Amino acid sequence: MYGIMKLLTTSAWRRFQQMFQECGFEVYIRHKIVEVDAPEKTEAERASDNRRSAINELMKRTRDVYWRIEEKGDRERINAFVKDLKSLLGPILRYISIRVHKLLSQLMLKMG
């Protein structure tokens, strides 16, 4: 029904609709506003949330591209995509791993 993978099929949608026809809408009769006190996030927390969102978006876009290629069944393009991704991300991940290891070592030395 929607998208390439057709996750929402017509029969699933009909069953969903039928569930409400059988049960009615009693659940939705009463509405209330619920206020929840949420502490303000610090600038560092907001920055962390933004970085996390950026990483999630990049990963989602990467997966979407991969699945589009995978659905076409072109083994050559799939293998090329994975090879390119590994060659681009490999050095970055190694660099980050080395930096994190150095930082942790320095912290351990300071802590004594």
Mean pLDDT by 10-residue block, N- to C-terminus, for the chain (112 residues)? 68 78 60 78 94 96 95 95 96 94 90 82
Q: Is residue 30 part of a domain?
A: no
Q: What is the pLDDT of residue 97?
A: 94
Who's near 66: CB < 8 A, 6+ residues apart?
Answer: 78, 81, 82
In a domain, 55, yes or no: yes
**Assigned domain for 107 exists:** yes
Q: Is residue 93 part of a domain?
A: yes
Looking at residue 18, what is its pLDDT?
A: 78
pLDDT for the residue numbered 88 = 96
* Domain contains 63: yes
Residue 101 domain-assigned?
Answer: yes
* Distances, alpha carbon 37 to alpha carbons 34, 40, 43, 47, 103, in Å: 10, 9, 18, 21, 37
35 lies in some domain: no
- How many domains does the structure of the chain reveal? 1
Residue 90 domain boundaries: 48-112
Can you give the pTM of this predicted structure?
0.54
* Residue 22 belongs to some domain of the structure: no
- For residue 39, the model assigns a pLDDT of 85
